[in-house]
Amino acid sequence: MTFREKIIAIQRKQHSLVCIGLDSDPQLLPTHLRNSADGVLDFNRRIIEATQDLVCAYKPNLAFYEALGSRGWDILSKTLALIPPEIVTIGDAKRGDIGNSADQYAKALFEILHFDAVTINAYMGHDAVESFIRNPNRGVFILALTSNPGSKDFQRVKIGKQPLYEKLVRSSVKWNTHGNIGLVVGATHPKELKTIRALASTMPILIPGIGKQGGDLKSSIRFGCDRNGELAIVSSSRAILYASAGMDFADAARRETMKLRDEIRKYQSDFFESSR
Amino acid sequence: MTFREKIIAIQRKQHSLVCIGLDSDPQLLPTHLRNSADGVLDFNRRIIEATQDLVCAYKPNLAFYEALGSRGWDILSKTLALIPPEIVTIGDAKRGDIGNSADQYAKALFEILHFDAVTINAYMGHDAVESFIRNPNRGVFILALTSNPGSKDFQRVKIGKQPLYEKLVRSSVKWNTHGNIGLVVGATHPKELKTIRALASTMPILIPGIGKQGGDLKSSIRFGCDRNGELAIVSSSRAILYASAGMDFADAARRETMKLRDEIRKYQSDFFESSR
């Protein structure tokens, strides 16, 4: 099954476009698990158990695991082993390197950690993408227009009449010969998301930035989905992970995930005939 | 001692602008060390012992250590412990993330691995840089114009009259309030290096791409150094690490390093009065 087929299959099976970002920070865990590396693994296990019938993907951000030192890699590896195989795993690594260095990153992320997909940064150009797209069963999400304020510094600067992120999207479409490239577009840019979806009509789009960052969920679904009302992947981290700081954190995470899934389903049925 | 002071001090002490890239690939090691993770550590130890009086910096590329799985982090950590404290250590990580994720990467690289500096990718804008420059004793090298063919895809596109990399250099200069930002500029772009040095007259510039990638050493020194003939950091990996595949690999690495250091010193004395 190709990477793209896997996303579609799980989104249909779970009726969910929700991705949970496993940005598990020891300092933010419920009190009884706080400040311990084992606590992070216990926390992830409980979150995954409580939400695995409600999501299409989990997305650990590698930064949080690297910050745990040498144990971090093992905790990440053990976390991935807890995720049911039909659910998509996205390594939010934002790697961007070339040649044999990129090959080594691809090896680490796809062959050792067994992620289905990773986020990558294409500032270095096409040779920063090649190593990651050779296997159609593995995918990448290329950073296009990110949700943060700094996205104006370079991503939005104009190249002639088009902004840089648009050039990057057009290049990504051109490079997508194996059908396994996706894009990252922040929910804080609904108008631009519409333009990007029009340029990349069949690509999965990973959409962070709802919740605390102020992104707009309704527009993210309306403009981020393909014409079947699918292939948008809406990522939420803190609002789900830290919904409660008490012993009931997993139940609270489940409630938040269900709320997000259902709100998305409502918008899917509002805007897409096939979802009604 | 600030990061910038540390670079200047070691370049003067060793009379060397050479940085060795510790991109140690188990498949390329001398036969007797090949294909073993312990082999990588032994290899690094011998390389460091044989070259530590000839260099200003060592630059492990994190990709090669991540590809070793969970042992990779320990091998990297043990490798760093072998490097004399006055020599600059650069984590070639090319990280680029924001907010609390960037904080976690900075923690991993500066507080756990204790790198003096890291390479970063600023496509996401100023918030991708902030977390890494808070401590003036730690530095960053921002990817400006890289040595690979793909650098034309985005880095060289024109924003009005200036190429994107030039806008990025100007932004880096503006953000450099703690004096600890440097740049990465490939040796394959001598003309552009001259322009970049003029814009960033006091910044360290990390210059990869000599040797196999065809970069020009003479121009790299002429245009990459500051007006004192310093603060260019010339990185070489494969030509030094794999100078011999036999038992004499460390001696061969020493000879190659010495040759590079001396060639650089010749160009320094050709082009800079203070170096004569």
Which CATH number do you get for residue A140? 3.20.20.70
A 131-150: CB under 8 A from B: 143, 146, 148-150
The per-residue pLDDT for A275 is: 59
- Residue B228: what pLDDT? 96
| C-alpha gyration radius of chain A | 18
Predicted pLDDT of residue B198: 98
Express as a percent the part of chain B with pLDDT over 70.
98
A37 band by pLDDT with thresholds 50, 70 and 90: low
Q: Is the pLDDT of residue A276 over 70?
A: no
What secondary structure letter does DSSP report for B206?
Answer: E
Residues A154/A112, Cβ–Cβ less than 8 Å:
no
Decide if pLDDT at B115 tops 80.
yes
3-state secondary structure of B71: helix
Three-class SS state of A141: strand
pLDDT at A34 over 90: no
Residue entry with tokens 């990110």: A146
Write the pLDDT tens digit of every residue in B142-179: 999 999 999 999 999 999 999 999 999 999 999 999 99
CA closest to B74 among chain A residues: A70
Residue A85 has pLDDT above 70, yes or no: yes
Residue B38: its pLDDT value, please?
85
* Interchain CB distance below 8 Å, A150 and B77: no
- Mean pLDDT score, B43-72: 97
**B1, part of any domain:** no
8 A C-beta contact, residue A118 and residue A141: yes
Tell me the shortest Cα–Cα distance from B167 to chain A, in angstroms: 8
Paired strand residues for B181:
B140
Among this protein's residues, is B94 annotated catalytic?
A: yes
* Model confidence pTM above 0.90: yes
Nearest to A70 among B25, B73, B143 (CB): B73
* β-strand pairing of A158-159 with A162-163: antiparallel
Predicted pLDDT of residue B37: 67
| DSSP element (H, E) containing B184 | strand B181-185
Unique residue bearing structure tokens 């880095």: B155
Q: Summarize the confidence of residues B123-145 as an average pLDDT.
A: 97
The pLDDT > 70 percentage for chain A reads: 98
Residue of B35, B129, B153 to mutate, interface with A, max A Cβ within 10 Å: B153
pLDDT of residue B63: 98
Confidence check: pLDDT of B36 > 90: no
Mean pLDDT, residues A205-234 taken together: 94
Q: Domain for residue B2, yes or no?
A: no
Closest residue by Cα to residue A231 from A168, A182, A194: A182
Output the pLDDT for position A70.
87
Model confidence at A38, in pLDDT bands (50, 70, 90)? Answer: confident
Residue B225 contacts by C-beta under 8 Å, 6 or more apart in sequence? B17, B197, B231, B232, B268, B271, B272
Checking if the pLDDT of A144 tops 70, the result is yes
Q: What is the pLDDT of residue B212?
A: 73
User: For residue A161, what are the domain limits?
Assistant: 3-275
Domain count across chain B: 1
Q: Which of A50-54, A159-163, A186-190, B272-276 has the lowest mean pLDDT?
A: B272-276
Distance (Å) of CA A151 to CA A106, A209, A212, B24, B45: 26, 13, 17, 35, 42
Residues of chain A contacting B123 with CB distance shorter than 8 Å: 96, 121-123, 143, 154-155
Residue B113 has pLDDT above 90, yes or no: yes
pLDDT at B276 over 60: no
Handedness of CA B1, B7, B8, B11 (dihedral sign): positive
Rounded to whole angstroms, the Cα distance separating A267 from A91 reads 27
Residue pLDDT, tens place only, B175-197:
999 999 999 999 999 999 999 99
